[in-house]
Structure 1
Amino acid sequence: MKIRELMGILDDIAPFKDSEEWDNTGLLVGDLDDEATGILTTLDCAHGTVEEAVEKGANVIIAHHPLIFPKVSSITESGVGSIVRKLIRNDINLIAMHTNLDHQPHGVSHMIAEVLGYDETEILIKHEYFYKKLRINIPKEDVGKLKQDLSAAGVGNQGDYSECFFEYPVKGQFRPNDEADPHIGTQGELEHVDEYIVEAIFEAAHEQQVIDALIEAHPYEEPAYDVLTLKKPSDKGLGVKFDYDDTLEALVDLIREKTGHDIVNVVNANTGRMNKVGIIGGSGMSYINEAFSQGVDVLVTGDVKYHEAYDAKLAGRNIIDVGHYMEVFMAEGLKRLVEDRVELPVHATSFTTNPFE
């Protein structure tokens, strides 16, 4: 399997277009035409990670955190540059799956919930999905060919379905002027035509190619069409939530027991039983308002600052700070997702990159 083919599989698992604009995901070091020999999944790519990949015969490392993140002006034998050089010397490809993996229903936050014994989760903060809807008038006899050509351009894909079109009859009229070259009708005469309106949705990013395709496919010199912008809740988003029926103290004990990690801090803002738990892997405090608006009784996340904790307590919000490194369980979770789709050896790292150890 070429790296190019592997990238297609990874894009199916967690589309790279779902990455935040500020993020740096995809193939960071390597060659798309390389032949993949094995895969190592990890939270971070460090010197020890590269050595582990070499030992296991894996020439692909898939990391959650991008090794190359800010602007890099030089690659030298220090800091990040030394790891990049080590990757190159050992002919290892480095792929980053960061916020694109965070935003999937079975992404990083779900993987943490699974470790706690809760595999029935739902998205905590759903994204709004913006898409485009094409509406076009066309003679009845040309409807079939138009749908075929538009489908080839990516129109009509909805979830697991393709070629999803809607059509209904209308009566159209037009008068070709002296300079027109009409497909139907005569210059200067008002023409009435039995037409159909064809409607379908498409990805907003593909708008220009869709317009080009419809102009190419349409028999009219001047096609009549509209492109509408629509939005709806997505099945993707940030974090997960799950049902839970116990106390905050019991949840803290459960996290310690199941993960083997120490809790950084706990904001115990109210007593009683917790009915709904939210998890945002990594740093989730900037989403605290959205998270608690979804009915959670406690938010499990990392990198909680003093003033954030203080404000949360004043607002009566329970927070469990498990640290950013709790995301490390994505290595095993991503391994399972990848190995189901490739005929390659896939390993989850055993090397610890926790900077606090």
Structure 2
Amino acid sequence: MKVKEVITTLEELAPLAYAEDFDNVGLLVGDANTKVSGVLVTLDTLGNVVDEAITNNCNLIVSFHPIIFGGLKRLTGATYVERVVIKAIKNDIAIYSMHTALDNNKYGVNAKICEILGLKNTKILIPQKGTIKKLVTYVPRAEAALLKDRLFEAGAGSIGNYSDCSFTNKGIGSYKANEQARPVKGVVSEVHHEKETQLHITYPKAVERQVIAALFEHHPYEEVAYEISTLENRNQDIGMGMIGELEKPMDELESLEYIKKKMKASCIRHSKLRNSPVKKIAVLGGSGAFAIAAAKASGADIFITADIKYHQFYEAEGKLIIADIGHYETEQFTKNLLVDYLTKKIPNFAIRLSESKTNPIKYL
């Protein structure tokens, strides 16, 4: 198995098309055509993680956080980032990062937090915009069904729990081929009228390349007439954070103790208690201050996240409890999620869960 084959498997779970624009995801170090000896899964790629990969003969590190985030202008070993990259290159170890591509996945980071907390009726907290595309094309009626099937096979036509979704209109198309054309129907220099089907079909932007390739491969016309638009519809399967419900309501202090225990947090920094039971919980792994307003609007009783600043706690405004349990603590189970996924997808391959400690924050 080559690095690129493992990457393909990972991107079936979390397509890079759904990563945030500011992020740096994908293959950061190494050659995609390298044969893989073993895979080490980690939250962060640090020097001790690379050492662990070397010891265990793993030449591919799958990391949640990207070791290279901003641009690297030199590799002199002056910073921990440069030293990690140099060590990985010297030992022919590839590094692949998923980060916000997995954050935005409904089976990703936040789904794992919900699973750990036992939350039910979960849904995306902030659906990502611009992830649903629509293709409109015009095809001779006799060939419409075949083209539609090929587009479905390429990943188009899925809406929530439904597949093979499309809409068609019947009409008459017209065109005149010039002397350089090789028309499939009609003759050169004469206006031709063809009974056509107008096909409307939506698709997730992550499969756009495959959908367009299928359109051009299976459309019968020499020149394919088509339109692509980005829809404003909310995509309930892609986005940041999640919200769910506890099996039974809890007292506020009881719920905070429950969260602390389940998430293995050393402490919880939280806003003022409201003296009301806790049922709905919103979660967002990592730095989630930007989602406070969305958590309030969702009707959550508690919002679990990390990296909340002093003045941001005021934004709770008595409408919910903001609970900062720590950045590492919100994301620590992500590597378990990835190991479980890869082990199921590649059962006869060496997939290792990193034992290296990478949390940079210590508590007294």
The two structures have a TM-score, normalised by structure 2, of 0.84
Which protein is bigger by CA-based radius of gyration?
A: 1
After superposition, the C-alpha distances for 1:14-73 in whole angstroms (9 at most, x for unaligned) are 111111111111111111111112222111111111112222222221111110001111
Q: Give secondary structure in 2 for the equivalent of 1:270.
A: coil
Q: Distance in 2 between matches of 1:128 and 1:344?
A: 37
Which residue is equivalent to 2:355?
Answer: 350
Question: What is the CA-CA distance between 1:356 and the residue it aligns to?
Answer: 1.8
Rate the CA distance shift 1:57–1:165 in 2: closer, same or farther, 3 A. same
Which residue is equivalent to 1:81?
Answer: 82
Question: What is the CA-CA distance between 1:138 and the residue it aligns to?
Answer: 3.8
Matched letter for residue 125 of structure 2: L
Which residue is equivalent to 1:289?
Answer: 293
* Segment of structure 1 superposing worse, 330-339 or 7-16: 330-339
Matched letter for residue 294 of structure 2: E
Which residue is equivalent to 1:317?
Answer: 320
Name structure 1 gaps, 5 residues minimum.
Answer: none
Question: What is the CA-CA distance between 1:10 and the residue it aligns to?
Answer: 0.4
Matched letter for residue 105 of structure 2: Q
Question: What is the CA-CA distance between 1:199 and the residue it aligns to?
Answer: 2.7
Question: What is the CA-CA distance between 1:132 and the residue it aligns to?
Answer: 3.3
Q: Distance in 1 between matches of 2:118 and 2:211?
A: 46
Contact 2:274/2:318 (8 A) holds in 1: no
Question: What is the CA-CA distance between 1:179 and the residue it aligns to?
Answer: 8.6
Q: Distance in 1 between matches of 2:178 and 2:328?
A: 72
Q: Distance in 2 between matches of 1:62 and 1:196?
A: 46
Which residue is equivalent to 1:20?
Answer: 20
After superposition, the C-alpha distances for 1:196-219 in whole angstroms (9 at most, x for unaligned) are 333323455848983995599454
Question: What is the CA-CA distance between 1:307 and the residue it aligns to?
Answer: 0.6
Q: Distance in 2 between matches of 1:78 and 1:32?
A: 27
Superposed, which structure 2 residues align to 1:262-301 within 5 Å? 262-301=266-305
Q: Distance in 1 between matches of 2:312 and 2:120?
A: 29
Question: What is the CA-CA distance between 1:121 and the residue it aligns to?
Answer: 3.3
Q: Distance in 2 between matches of 1:34 and 1:215?
A: 31
Question: What is the CA-CA distance between 1:355 and the residue it aligns to?
Answer: 1.4
Which residue is equivalent to 2:264?
Answer: 260
Contact 1:157/1:201 (8 A) holds in 2: yes
* Segment of structure 1 superposing worse, 159-168 or 267-276: 159-168
Question: What is the CA-CA distance between 1:331 and the residue it aligns to?
Answer: 1.6
The answer to whether 1:237 aligns with 2:242 is: no
Q: Distance in 2 between matches of 1:208 and 1:13?
A: 17
The answer to whether 1:332 aligns with 2:347 is: no
Rate the CA distance shift 1:2–1:269 in 2: closer, same or farther, 3 A. same
Superposed, which structure 2 residues align to 1:1-357 within 5 Å? 1-79=1-79, 80-118=81-119, 121-144=122-145, 146-147=147-148, 154=154, 156-158=156-158, 165-170=166-171, 172=172, 174=174, 183-184=185-186, 193-203=194-204, 206=208, 210=212, 213=215, 217-219=219-221, 226-234=227-235, 235-244=237-246, 245-312=249-316, 314-326=317-329, 327-342=331-346, 343-357=348-362
Rate the CA distance shift 1:38–1:271 in 2: closer, same or farther, 3 A. same
* Segment of structure 1 superposing worse, 114-123 or 46-55: 114-123
Contact 1:155/1:163 (8 A) holds in 2: no
Rate the CA distance shift 1:36–1:350 in 2: closer, same or farther, 3 A. same
Q: Distance in 1 between matches of 2:190 and 2:340?
A: 67
Rate the CA distance shift 1:17–1:247 in 2: closer, same or farther, 3 A. same
Question: What is the CA-CA distance between 1:323 and the residue it aligns to?
Answer: 1.0
Contact 1:146/1:214 (8 A) holds in 2: no
Rate the CA distance shift 1:307–1:218 in 2: closer, same or farther, 3 A. same
After superposition, the C-alpha distances for 1:163-219 in whole angstroms (9 at most, x for unaligned) are 65543433x275859999884489788x76543333323455848983995599454
Paired residues, number: 352
Q: Give secondary structure in 1 for the equivalent of 2:136.
A: strand
Question: What is the CA-CA distance between 1:98 and the residue it aligns to?
Answer: 0.2
Query: Equivalent pairs: percent with the same residue?
Result: 30
Q: Distance in 2 between matches of 1:155 and 1:242?
A: 29
Q: Give secondary structure in 1 for the equivalent of 2:333.
A: helix
* Segment of structure 1 superposing worse, 193-202 or 343-352: 193-202
Rate the CA distance shift 1:2–1:309 in 2: closer, same or farther, 3 A. same
After superposition, the C-alpha distances for 1:308-352 in whole angstroms (9 at most, x for unaligned) are 01232x353311110111112212222111111112222222221
Q: Distance in 1 between matches of 2:178 and 2:68?
A: 61
Q: Distance in 2 between matches of 1:143 and 1:49?
A: 53
Contact 1:252/1:263 (8 A) holds in 2: no
Q: CA RMSD in A?
A: 3.3
Matched letter for residue 340 of structure 2: R
After superposition, the C-alpha distances for 1:214-249 in whole angstroms (9 at most, x for unaligned) are 59945487x765544434332122112221210221
Question: What is the CA-CA distance between 1:122 and the residue it aligns to?
Answer: 2.8
Q: Distance in 1 between matches of 2:142 and 2:114?
A: 54
Q: Give secondary structure in 2 for the equivalent of 1:296.
A: coil
Q: Give secondary structure in 1 for the equivalent of 2:286.
A: strand
Name structure 2 gaps, 5 residues minimum.
Answer: none
